[in-house]
Amino acid sequence: MTDLTHDLADRLTRYCAIDSQSDADSPSSPSTEVQLDMQRLLVAELTAMGAEDVTLTEYGAVLATIPGTRAGPTVGFLAHVDTAPQFNATGVKPRIIRGYNGGAITYPDDPALSLTPEAFPYLAEKLGHDIVTASGLTLLGADDKAGVAILMTAAERLLADPSLPRPRLRLAFTPDEEIGRGVDARLPGDLGADFAYTFDGGKLGEIEYETFSADGAVVTIKGVSIHPGYATGKLVNAIHLAAKIIQTLPQVTLTPETTEGREGFIHATDMDGGSSEMRIKFILRDFEREGLEEKGALLRQVCAAVAATEPRADITCTITPQYRNMRYWLESDMTPVELARESARALGLDPVSVPIRGGTDGSRLTEMGIPCPNLFTGMQNIHGPLEWISVQDMEVAMRLCLEIAGRAAKG
């Protein structure tokens, strides 16, 4: 390992070992107290390296300034500290496979798991790289602690070397991105950037300026509860009605596992309750506003149709906006995208822009007035036990951050 890759690997493994999972069911901000363990650590490290204006906001974001050495726009760099709630993130044991030999990677805590280049071709391109994974029982958390490690390493180098050209830079480390609550209404004003970038992407060269548009939906089914021994003609079982709703929705189209590319979907994420009352959570996704509205209308129609079969039940469908495709705003001014592309080419990369079948904090920031494309980190197989990342990919992402800063200083 070089000194740089050693620093990146050290930061990543230290950060990933800290539980900072978010919780969509929590009303607090941030949604979990454990995220503040990460944030307080970042405050201490930023302060120690000499960053200015280091702040932990009341909504759980860490902000800091790297003073500029040249004139230019104020540029923001962001990453999120929370890890996805879809899989176990407690007790993460990161490990480094140094000088990857091209074979299958096995997992000490789950021998049945195997990460192979045949199943994941991008891994085959990383021969000789240092690969970081978890131990088999948890996700790794490179989403997005890789982004955190990349920005913290870049910040340390910039602050240690005043000769490196950059305009005023603003760092932001946000909580709750994974549950769609990473951008508090106060963040754009507190960040104070002319434009920004999230480091929350995948393969080398990916510079993303198009995301899903997203809504969340909650369907509540209230039946009629009565002792089952005396239920004839009286009981209305909410579980049965919930099952009808799921069964009536498209099964071979419009689900995540049956769609790809620019196709959107309706995804049932959670179902809980009992015979008297059930709740189903959905996420609705589409790249266009019209498509998103159509999916919401379809969900409402299905709920209404099932409700019509049992007038004694009460079925409600509440749809809440989450974020919108950042393309709607960025396509009118591609300056930050082109700056990132020029910087990537300067590093010998061939920049690629593909629609993200998901969203980032940049989606909300862009909608709220700070253009914010998303840049690669190298993370792969996120939200599950086969998550992995190349430390050498992280190094390239860190150099991209420095290159963008330098080019922004040149105007």
Q: How far does CA 342 lie from the centroid of its chain? A: 25
Average pLDDT of 346-358? 95
290 appears as a binding residue in the annotation: no
User: Both tokens of residue 84?
Assistant: 């996805």
272 appears as a binding residue in the annotation: no
Kind of pairing between the strands at 195-201 and 314-323: unpaired
The Cα 289–Cα 305 span in angstroms is 24
pLDDT tens digits, 177-211: 998 899 999 999 999 999 999 999 999 999 999 99
Q: Could you tell me what percent of the chain has a pLDDT over 90?
A: 97
Q: Is 288 helix (H, G, I), strand (E, B) or coil?
A: coil
Q: How many H helices and E strands in the chain? A: 11, 16
Return the pLDDT at 184: 95
The answer on pLDDT for 410 being more than 90 is no
The answer on pLDDT for 363 being more than 90 is yes
143 appears as a binding residue in the annotation: yes
178 appears as a binding residue in the annotation: yes
Q: Is 251 exposed, middle or buried (0-12, 13-18, 19+ CB in 10 A)?
A: exposed
Q: Is 267 exposed, middle or buried (0-12, 13-18, 19+ CB in 10 A)?
A: middle
**pTM beyond 0.75:** yes
Return the pLDDT at 3: 86
Looking at domain 3-211+325-409, which CATH architecture does it have?
3-Layer(aba) Sandwich (3.40)
Closest of 216, 220, 183 to residue 321, by C-alpha? 216
Q: Which residues are catalytic?
A: 82, 177
Instruction: Verify cis geometry, omega within 30 degrees of 0, for the bond prior to 144.
Output: yes
pLDDT tens digits, 230-250: 999 999 999 999 999 999 999
Average pLDDT of 332-354? 97
The answer on pLDDT for 411 being more than 80 is no
The answer on pLDDT for 405 being more than 90 is yes
Instruction: Tell me the residue length of the chain.
Output: 411
200 appears as a binding residue in the annotation: yes
The Cα 131–Cα 133 span in angstroms is 7
Mean pLDDT of the chain: 96
pLDDT tens digits, 95-123: 999 999 999 999 999 999 999 999 999 99
Return the pLDDT at 193: 98
Return the pLDDT at 395: 98
Place of tokens 């029982």: 137
- DSSP letter string over 17-58? TS--B--TT--SSSS-TTHHHHHHHHHHHHHHHT-EEEEE-T
Average pLDDT of 155-159? 97
Return the pLDDT at 2: 81
CATH 3.30.70.360 fits 214-323, yes or no: yes
Return the pLDDT at 92: 97
Q: Grade residue 127 by pLDDT with cuts at 50, 70 and 90.
A: very high
The answer on pLDDT for 151 being more than 80 is yes
> What are the residue boundaries of the structural domains of the chain, listed by start?
3-211+325-409, 214-323
Most distant CA pair in the chain, distance: 82
22, 79, 183, 232 from 144: Cα distances, Å: 12, 6, 15, 53
